[in-house]
Structure formats: C-alpha cells, structure tokens
Amino acid sequence: MNSRLIDLVGRITGVTAQETRERLLRAGAASFEARGFEGTRVADIAREAGVSNGALYSHFGSKAELLAEALRDHGSQELASLFLDDPTKSVVDLLVALGQGLPDRSPEHGALVIEALVAARRDGEVASMMGIHMRERDEWLIDVIRDGQAAGTFAADLSPEAVSRYCLMLLLGSILLPAAGLAPVDGDEWAALIERLGEALRTPTPAPEAHGGTP
C-alpha cells in the first residue's frame, strides 16, 4: 500500500503514521507474547494500539507480517544497542559480552521468538517470514565477522558463515532452554567458558622471535 494511503487511513489523529506503526508493533508484540500467534486476533492488536482494524491493515498486510516486523524491530534494537554501548570494543569482545549475558536473560525476553517458532510449524506465511528474519540476522552477523577479520581482530582462518551459525544456535538455545526447567549453571563458570571460546576467535598473537647465539 502506498505511503499516501497509509497517511490517510492508518493515522491516529495528532499522531504520525510512523508513530502509529510503532504503536501497532508494540501492541502486536505484547499480544503475541501473552496469547500466542493463533490466540491473537487482529482486533485485539488494533484495540490495544487504539486504532481500527483498517488502520492496522494499512500498515501490515497480515498478522504474520506484523509478527515478522515486530521480531525485526526488536532484534535490530537489541543488536544496535549492543554495539552502541561501547563502539570501541572489537567484534570478539562484543560477541563474548553477548554470550556471557545469555543466562541472565529473563524467560520473557525470548517469548516473541518462541511464539514465532511455534506458529511457523503450522502457518506457512509465518514460516516464510521467520526464515527471512533469521537470514537477515545471519547475514548481519557474517558481515560483522568479516569486518572484524578485515580489521585484524578476528581469526582470519575461521569461516564467518560457520561462526554466525554457531552464534545463532547458541542464542536460540538460550531462548528455548529455560522452558525445560534445568537448574542454572554457575555464572562465573559460564563466563569463563565463553571467554575461552572467545579466545579461539581472536587473531593469534605472533610468538616472539627466538634469538640465536651462544649465551
């Protein structure tokens, strides 16, 4: 739908079209987390955002598209904040910091991702949208790792694709595992493990040259 029609149909009085869209994303995310994808109606999201059903459809073509955009919006903000918190850190330092913080994430933090994964098993449109979302995360990580390799801070002999896939698997596991009710691991032991793994990602420090000669 073109931007002019969105301005006419999808706007709350006194609120810009972008602000209306953001309201819908927040309301959609909250509804999906609370009721699940299948249990959420378009009318529920529109009511919580304070707009009509027609206004919602002027911004999003379907409930599945809104779910995908909510995931994209949430993921982009989280990744951006991670890098903006300390732009001087290397890629490896940032990945280590992210990995060390995984056990401290509340179960609610990944609720939206869990709902999307469950819905994707039953809804082809959600599965397609989820695939796009995960590919975007994968491509973003691959580019970041390549930048680190170009800067000389990330081991050049490691495949960016393989490292990215490992990171995504670790992230998704951290989202799904709390539901199993396993006892938490010791925080210091987890941090030490991630630091050790991080060392394997860094560019090796050249060994000092041996000097010959008779003492």
Domains of the chain, each with CATH number or no CATH: 1-61 (1.10.10.60), 63-204 (1.10.357.10)
Position 85 scores a pLDDT of 58
Of 111, 159, 106, 164, which Cα lies nearest the Cα of 135?
Answer: 164
Position 41 scores a pLDDT of 92
Position 115 scores a pLDDT of 84
> Which amino acid type is present at position 111?
A
Position 126 scores a pLDDT of 87
Of 147, 134, 133, 138, which Cα lies nearest the Cα of 87?
Answer: 147
Task: Give residues with Cβ within 8 angstroms of 51, minimum separation 6.
Answer: 10, 12, 20, 23, 24
Buried b / exposed e along 45-55 (16+ C-beta atoms within 10 A)? bbebbebeeeb
> Which amino acid type is present at position 95?
L
Yes or no: say if 43 and 50 are a contact pair by the CB < 8 Å rule: no
Which secondary-structure segment (H or E) carries 36? Answer: none
Q: What's the pLDDT tens digit per position in 122-166?
A: 888 889 888 888 898 899 899 999 999 999 999 999 999 999 999
What residues are paired with 154 via a beta bridge? 202
Position 199 scores a pLDDT of 95
In 3-state terms, what secondary structure has residue 213? coil
- As given in the structure block, the two tokens for residue 209 are 């040259």
Segments of the chain scoring below 50 in pLDDT: 1-10
Yes or no: say if 94 and 83 are a contact pair by the CB < 8 Å rule: yes
